[in-house]
Structure 1
Amino acid sequence: MSGRLPFASLLVLAAGTFVALSTELLPVSLLPRIGHSFGVSEGTAGTLVSVYAIVVTIGSIPLGVALASLSRRWTLAILAAGFAIANVGFAFSTNFVEAVVFRAVGGGVHAAFFGIIFVTAAELSGPARRGVALAIIGLGVTCGLAFGVPLGTALGAVFGWRDIFLVASGLLLIAAALFAILLPRSRPEPQSGTRDQVKTLARRPVVASALLITLLLTGHYLAYTYIATFLHHVGLNQGGIAAAFFAFGVCAAAGSALAGIAHKVAPHLASAVAALLISGALALIGLGVQPQSSSALAFVGMGVWGLGYGALVPLIQSIGITSFVGAERLAPSVINSSFNLAIFAGATIGAAALSIGPPTVVVLAGAVLAALSAALLGRQSRTRHG
């Protein structure tokens, strides 16, 4: 690699990541409309989210193994096109069973896509600039989470949910073409054999890191999945909730940019600090935001939360790639699996918590899990640098 960072390639990868992640999360906010169109309840429509997450969780590692030695350029182009096809099928589904099938197909493509896109960025940039490259791709993730879903939801209310998925399909086809044109013609650098890399995943440090990442992300998604419910519970209207999510998104983008700097110092310690920010923000929201309190406190809490989470996305990828020695190519697949397991676990635990208590319980439970994760990450940092 040359000393220059391949910004054009990285920006295309980040843009593709933004669209792909938005596609994954869109059904969460469109469930009432999707359920109504198929004549099923909102709870039943939630199957579209859980099936997708389960497929990604199960498929990430085996698909990462299968694709590890293939050309990044053409693999990503084909996967982006596959994403588009799955979205078109979902948009034109005539019954709920068809919709579930196409979402499952999309989950399989997602598992493969996110399993290699971060490692592709790391390979394009080289070890010295890996942190900056991962932060750029992480910006696509955080922007997809923060801006893609609210924007798609707003457009879906005007044009219909099927139209939004068709638009996403068009954007993914454009991404596929750009991958084929702009990504360099290269193959992955030789590493240890596939069997050796899979064996590496069973080592205690790798398993411990994966479980820790899952614990932290479960705390985040436990609260994030139901934060709109909480904000509505304390009196914010739709405009106020949208503004709170916007604050989260702006600060998440800033956190992702800062992570590129923190990576050079100590990614484990920086991740612990980010987890503490998330925990503190959730505690502030859960304990401080009350029905008669100022909405400004909610905006501050959402902003701090976004800052911490935005930093975590690239930092977690960096920890995986640098810690999974001997299985660097499979690290993003493991992390991708952890992300989606956390989405499933957070939604499931949160639903159970809401059945026995107010939304505040869910927010504070997320704060506790984030605080515990921060303590464990701090311990890992001391072990590595002490």
Structure 2
Amino acid sequence: MTRATLQDDARGTAPVHGLPHENPGTYEETTPSGPKSNSSDPAGRFPWAALLIMALMGFLLIVTETMPAGLLPQIAAGLNITEGTAGQFVSAYALGTVIAAMPAIAMTRGMRRKPVLLVGILGFLAANLITAFSTDIILSLGARLVAGAFSGLLWGMLAGYARRITAREHAGRAMSVASLGTPVGLAVGTPFGSWLGTAFDWRWSFGVLSILTIITVLLAVFLVPDASGQHAATRVPLVRVLGIPGVAVVLAVIVSWMLGHNVLYTYIGSYLRTASLQLSVDVALVTFGVAAIAGIAITGAVIDKGLRRLVLLSLGSFITAGVIFTVGHASVIAVIAAIILWGIAFGGAAAQLQTAISAASGENADVANSMLGVAFNLAIFAAGVAGAVMISNFDGLVLPVVMAGLAAVAFFIAVAGRRTALPR
């Protein structure tokens, strides 16, 4: 079977000669009279309210995932456990995402989108409430596992949902808006949650997240339009989605790229201590988060016109930032400049890669995006382990070297996969 034949069969579309669909990521519901537009608004208006609600959900997901890392001493004291055990709050969440994301998306991809979204948010809410009130570590870790599972479902469907309710000519822009929650969460949500848990009690952090989740589900009920699920004729097994030309390339890029990112991001404190800079971790992370917001704004402005160049530029910026971190580690100005460049490059990464994998997979974008979420969480898990080994055997200056090297690997994979994953 040729590459073009496999791609046509997987998407249920006309031959495209081995290249991604002419209208990347477009979802069409087949009717007797022909395909319908993927926009739920006949006038093609941009669905700002719905997309911002999706961004708010993304904000809650990323904060829930990363916040415990800043509260390990408080969680350990509150549950009478070691900090190492408390650190499994992060690992259990990531494991839940890895285990559940693809099966959950595969089982729900034919269902209408809004009911699946609401069930996912309510399940996520229940898990966070249990975490906030639990006094047993086993129950708490189980709740984190379940929260990660619902997170995997939501991450897997949000990208496709955003594109389904948006006119096709604004699909990339819609992805950028819906992805805004990630950099905002990293810039504001995670530091605020850590401060709240430190100033009062770590359970308050999960309580506030639960309140915000209740607000989100209410807003979603009234402001997010429904959309159809994937048409039965276009559904293919998970393994065959992985075999669609371009999908594996994007997944390889994200694993290498995000592994390099998380090695430094997770252990940024070790790097700063080794460099002996008068720069706190909190200031570094807030600077990174603000720069990431600027990055996603830039991505939203140009993604529909030059995705390939944008991805390569972002990866090139990552490599440059890693080099500056390495050779300029003695200068606060140089390190801050590198953090800003790093943040800008990272800010648009999620939207860029989700757009690329959606373009490559066509109607199977929900499943492909669940694979992207799994790849992302595997990179987080692997970076935690690999980074711990590195700082145990070397000093923190090795981290940006590894970051730059892995970003270079991702760059070359993206260049090599230009015909299927990131066409001109």
TM bin, normalised by shorter chain, reads over 0.9
Return the letter of the residue paired with 2:69.
V
Deviation at 1:113, TM superposition (A): 1.0
Q: Percent identity?
A: 29
| Aligned match of 1:129 | 170
Separation (CA, whole Å) in 1 of partners of 2:356 and 2:54: 20
Contact 1:77 1:175 in 2 (8 A): no
TM-score of the superposed pair, with normalisation by structure 2:
0.85
TM-score of the superposed pair, with normalisation by structure 1:
0.93
Uncovered stretches (5+) of structure 1, i.e. residues with no partner? none
| Aligned match of 1:349 | 386
Separation (CA, whole Å) in 1 of partners of 2:371 and 2:137: 30
Report matched runs for 1:185-224 at 5 Å: 185-188=226-229, 190=231, 192-196=233-237, 198-203=239-244, 205-224=246-265
Indicate how the Cα distance of structure 1 residues 105 and 303 shifts in structure 2: closer, same or farther if over 3 A, else same.
same
The Cα offsets for residues 333-376 of structure 1, whole Å up to 9 and x where unpaired, read as 11111111111011111011111011111222111101221122
| Aligned match of 2:61 | 20
Report matched runs for 1:93-104 at 5 Å: 93-104=134-145
- Once the two structures are overlaid, the 10-residue window that deviates more, 60-69 or 263-272, is 263-272
Given candidates 364, 374, 383, the residue that maps to 1:327 is 364
Deviation at 1:182, TM superposition (A): 0.8
Contact 1:131 1:261 in 2 (8 A): no
Q: What is the DSSP-based 3-state SS (H/G/I as helix, E as strand, rest coil) of the residue aligned with 2:115?
A: helix
Separation (CA, whole Å) in 2 of partners of 1:186 and 1:265: 26
Deviation at 1:323, TM superposition (A): 0.9
Indicate how the Cα distance of structure 1 residues 210 and 219 shifts in structure 2: closer, same or farther if over 3 A, else same.
same
Contact 1:277 1:305 in 2 (8 A): yes
The Cα offsets for residues 80-129 of structure 1, whole Å up to 9 and x where unpaired, read as 12211111111112122121111111111111111111111011113211
Deviation at 1:196, TM superposition (A): 4.5
Given candidates 342, 350, 355, the residue that maps to 1:318 is 355
| Aligned match of 2:402 | 365
Q: What is the DSSP-based 3-state SS (H/G/I as helix, E as strand, rest coil) of the residue aligned with 1:381?
A: coil
Paired residues, number? 382
Separation (CA, whole Å) in 1 of partners of 2:200 and 2:373: 31
| Aligned match of 1:240 | 280
Separation (CA, whole Å) in 2 of partners of 1:21 and 1:36: 24
Deviation at 1:19, TM superposition (A): 1.4
Deviation at 1:329, TM superposition (A): 2.2
Uncovered stretches (5+) of structure 2, i.e. residues with no partner? 1-38
> Which one has a larger percent helix, Structure 1 or Structure 2?
1
| Aligned match of 1:41 | 82
Structure 1 residue 57 and structure 2 residue 101: aligned?
no
The Cα offsets for residues 177-204 of structure 1, whole Å up to 9 and x where unpaired, read as 1111111133235264434465222346
Contact 1:77 1:177 in 2 (8 A): no
RMSD: 1.9
Separation (CA, whole Å) in 1 of partners of 2:290 and 2:128: 28
The Cα offsets for residues 13-55 of structure 1, whole Å up to 9 and x where unpaired, read as 1111111211111111111221222222222222221121122
Separation (CA, whole Å) in 2 of partners of 1:305 and 1:191: 42
| Aligned match of 2:342 | 305
Return the letter of the residue paired with 1:8.
A
Structure 1 residue 179 and structure 2 residue 216: aligned?
no
| Aligned match of 1:148 | 189
- Once the two structures are overlaid, the 10-residue window that deviates more, 193-202 or 163-172, is 193-202
| Aligned match of 2:290 | 250
